[in-house]
A = this chain, B = another copy of it.
Amino acid sequence: MARASKLPVAVLGATGAVGQRFVQLLAAHPWFEIAVVTGSERSVGRRYGEVTRWILPEAIPAAVAGLTVQPTEQVAEVPIAFSALPTEQARALEPQWARAGVFVCSNASAFRMDPLVPLLIPEVNPEHLGIVERQQRERGWRGAIITNPNCATITLVIPLKPLHDAFGVQRLMVTTLQAVSGAGYPGVASLDILDNLIPNIADGGEEAKIESEPRKLLGRLVDGSFQDAPLGISAQVTRVPVLDGHTAAVAVAFARRPAPDEAIACLREWRAPEPVRSLPSAPPAPVVVRDEPDRPQPRRDRDLYGGMGTTVGRVRSCSLFDLRFVALSHNTIRGAAGGAILNAELLVAQGIVG
């Protein structure tokens, strides 16, 4: 896909932790170019480079540093907006942008479970984009809202997809070990996490997302409505002293029990359908299975494929369920900004935007 010029995009809530990831990942994007950044009252009217306490290793991209921060309340004339807004703001403002004709690729949780909004992982359920037309019609929007899942859900669901197609996932137990960057900035206090861990996130809210979102993601779009996959899911989350990279320890019961080798082969052979696999941010393979007994590890595996890959290890039989494995992906790239960008790329590739 060659384009004469890049599509201008907005980043909503651009000064926060996920907003910064959007800015970083879009800096050299082949299709998109940041034209607008929005922020809170404190930042509006000032240069992005001035008001942003940049927490990523590389410097702020120069072209963005010079942009003046706009109020999120004022919809910009761009085809696509990436939203890193907090839930409540997302709930209030994303519909305004969609109504005005913008395709909002949102990392917020506000509309994920909305029956007219796709909860999208391009490798997993690209056909869910089929709901967009109905969303536009029923809501009276010229644009639309497209969401990506919770950062821990995505670590879990990507390897589940080919296993579900092949063997039929029925029940799963998951314990997550999540990185501090998932809480944003300043987020987790060092006094709370050095030499420590916390066995909860958002007072049960994170577990509720992990127990519900996979049903929608692995479900089907039938006659214009989502039918959830009938999975039983039970989750325990923890926060650990890791900077980036969520780890999920998973046990799964299937309709047909695969031998570990079958499951490994299934994961290794899996490729995203076209056009997903050719999108600029798509990893060469959605999942890489490691044979070493001590992988995946967050620091050593989170940057696989620019942070868009998912690493699976310790695939083995489970005496109570059928299969156990450990999955890992980068929570602020694959699980947030990078995932939303991949969603936008799919919108363009399918001609919905562009």
Contacts and interface: CB of A to CB of B under 8 A. Distances in A.
Interface of A: 17, 55-58, 171, 173, 175, 177, 180-181, 185-200, 203-204, 211, 232-234, 236, 238, 240-243, 247, 249, 251, 293-301, 303, 313-314, 318-321, 324, 326
B233 A198 contact: no
Copies of this protein in the assembly total: 4
A196 B58 CA distance: 15
A301 B192 CA distance: 13
B321 A194 contact: no
Contacts of A175: 175, 236, 249
Contacts of A296: 199
A249 B187 contact: no
B191 A294 contact: no
Nearest to A186: B189
Nearest to A185: B191
Given A194-B243, A240-B241, A293-B204, A234 B320 contact: yes
Contacts of A233: 319-320
A294 B192 CA distance: 11
Task: Return the 7 tightest CB-CB contacts between A and B, nearest first.
Answer: A186-B189, A175-B175, A196-B299, A236-B249, A234-B320, A199-B326, A195-B195
Contacts of A171: 320
A177 B196 CA distance: 10
B57 A196 contact: no
Contacts of A186: 186, 189, 191-192
Contacts of A177: 177, 197, 238, 240
A200 B294 contact: yes
